[in-house]
Amino acid sequence: MPDNRFFERPILNSPYEYPVRYWELDDQGQPTQQIIEKRRPAQFITPIPKPRKRAAGAAAQQKLVFDEGAGVSSATQEYDPTPIINELRRRVDLWRAIENPANWGVTPETARLLQHWRHHDFTDVRPFFAQIEAAETAIWLTEVAPGEREGKRFLEHLANANADANPELSRLALKLATGAGKTTVMAMLIAWQTINSVRRPGSKKFTRGFLVVTPGITIKDRLRVLQPNDPDSYYASRELVPTDMLEDISRAKIVITNYHAFKRRERVELSKGGRLLLQGRVGEELDTLETEGQMIQRVMPELMGLKNIVVLNDEAHHCYREKPASPEEEELKGEERKEAERNREAARLWISGIEAVNRKLGVTRVLDLSATPFFLSGSGYAEGTLFPWTMSDFSLMDAIECGIVKLPRVPVAQNIPGGEMPMFRNLWENIRVDIPKQGRGKAKDLDPLALPTRLQTALQA
């Protein structure tokens, strides 16, 4: 019988301490059953941002980058499998090890929060190391890096990544595994920015205005704990802020919305015939959509009057400015093409909304939080490659090894006759014929508890 130590005892580290061991994986991503006595490095393929000034010999390096990019690079876009995350992680580690807060290079308010998150005796839920590290990364890049020679290299990488993919915005992505607690990280970032803004009103590094953008209603409701006046507000209920600083948090202005709200609405309801009548035979097409300013007034009236707000994107992999397709790109067909177009439309609406907010109110930073900050099909980049503005990572394997999430269960065999592939491995293909067809008119006759038998079995497996 093969050695199954990884599957029997996957946990190697404390969720509250720096990870010091990890399970080695082979080229196929399978555990070798060997434990490596150091932290797992981040390993992804990411688009290489184009430098604002290209060196004379840059073209000569195209072949090398093509080989390193696992075959996804092209003449129009290079890719690199060794992101800057590992280098920044080491720099933040050195900074974290400094004992005297006076030498941290941050404001006294930030130092107080860092000490609180790291050492406070929490009565209930204690922040994970992964959550603190994500907040530390944003803090280091904002407060420490501008004053350090080494720090400027990381800031230049971010600037190049954004100039290439988000020319109107300054984005920073923090990658956290599903289940690692992105909402807590958002609360920590809001607390850090707000307290500094209230106590340092003249500083342009900090703000008390926040726009939190989500992909769906369920997530929007879950994020209400970010509001300081919510009964379950994380700042007090999870003790993320020292009690004497809670009053400062109450001055934060936070709007939580779905990206769909960015779609400009009709100001005047007109039938097709009425619209044609008003236009006349040769008249210009009527513009009855609300303006960008009217959209912003509708979606985020609380932020009107504030300048330089911070945007927090939850599940940020839905938000990017698509790159024009290159001739080398494979032509998608059928369902893949439809999915790519849906991805493009959603991403276009989301990013355009944030760009509009930047034009009208000013956005100092967009903080992207996602377990999967990867480009989707239809983005113009190689599908599954990492956003180049991603600067920290706590992966699913890290979360498993720290006991934050359970080992995923992936079907590999079944005892049901018929077919070589386990049914639960590709569940949709096996239940789609039993699912009611599209159309709201038919919904009144449906029983929400009458699930297909195979789906019920999968849910209970």
Contact 36, 148 (CB under 8 A): no
Tell me the torsion sign for CA atoms 394, 398, 404, 405: positive
Please check the confidence at residue 75 and state whether its pLDDT lies above 60. Answer: no
Please check whether residue 179 is in contact with residue 65, taking contact to mean a CB–CB distance below 8 angstroms: no
Which pLDDT does position 324 carry in this prediction? Answer: 64
Tally Cβ neighbours within 10 Å of residue 106: 21
Distance between CA atoms of residues 461 and 453, nearest Å: 12
- pLDDT tops 80 at residue 39: yes
**What is the band of 300 on the pLDDT scale with cuts at 50, 70, 90?**
very high
Q: What is the pLDDT of residue 50?
A: 56
Q: What is the per-residue pLDDT for 28?
A: 81
Q: Contacts from 113-120 at CB under 8 Å and sequence distance 24+?
A: 113/188, 113/191, 113/192, 113/195, 113/241, 113/242, 113/245, 114/139, 116/240, 116/241, 116/242, 117/188, 117/240, 120/239, 120/242
- What's the pLDDT band for 459 if we cut at 50, 70, 90? low
State the Cα–Cα distance between residues 43 and 84, nearest whole angstrom: 10
Is there a contact between 185 and 174 (Cβ–Cβ < 8 Å)? Answer: yes
Residue 250 and residue 409: Cα distance in Å, rounded?
Answer: 43
Q: Which tokens in the block code for residue 265?
A: 């609405």
DSSP 283: P
pLDDT in tens, 3-18: 678 888 999 999 999 9
Which residues 6+ apart lie within 8 Å of 93 measured at CB? 18
Mean pLDDT, rounded, for 364-387: 87
Helix, strand, or coil here: 371? coil
- Which among 59, 49, 57 is positioned nearest to 83, based on CA atoms? 49
The single-letter DSSP state of residue 331 is: P
- Distance between first and last Cα of the chain: 25
Structural domains of the chain, with CATH: 82-268+285-325+334-401 (3.40.50), 423-460 (no CATH)
The DSSP bridge partners found for residue 172 are: 367
pTM equals: 0.81
- Could you give the CA distance from residue 370 to residue 321 in angstroms, rounded to a whole number? 17
Q: Tell me the C-alpha distance between 319 and 367, whole Å.
A: 11
Residues 80-87 have a mean pLDDT of 77
Structure tokens at 72: 């996804």
What is the pLDDT at residue 412? 53
SS3 6: helix
Res. 408: pLDDT tops 80: no
Measured from the Cβ of residue 225, the count of other Cβ atoms closer than 10 Å reads 18
409 or 181, which is more confident: 181
Check pLDDT > 50 for residue 402. Answer: yes
Q: Range with the lowest mean pLDDT among 38-52, 202-216, 238-252, 367-381? A: 38-52
| Mean pLDDT value across residues 32-59 | 70
Give residue 202's pLDDT.
87
- Of 293, 317, 312, give the one whose Cα is nearest residue 304: 293
pLDDT band at residue 380 using 50, 70 and 90 as cut-offs: confident
The answer on pLDDT for 170 being more than 80 is yes
| Cβ(45)–Cβ(59) below 8 Å | no
List CB contacts of 403: < 8 A, sequence separation 6 or more.
11, 13, 14, 15
* pLDDT tier for residue 61 given thresholds of 50, 70 and 90: very low
Residues above pLDDT 90, as percent of the chain: 53
Confidence tier at 65 by pLDDT (50, 70, 90)? very low
pLDDT at 59 over 70: no
> Is the predicted pLDDT of residue 160 greater than 60, yes or no?
yes
pLDDT band (50, 70, 90) for residue 154: very high
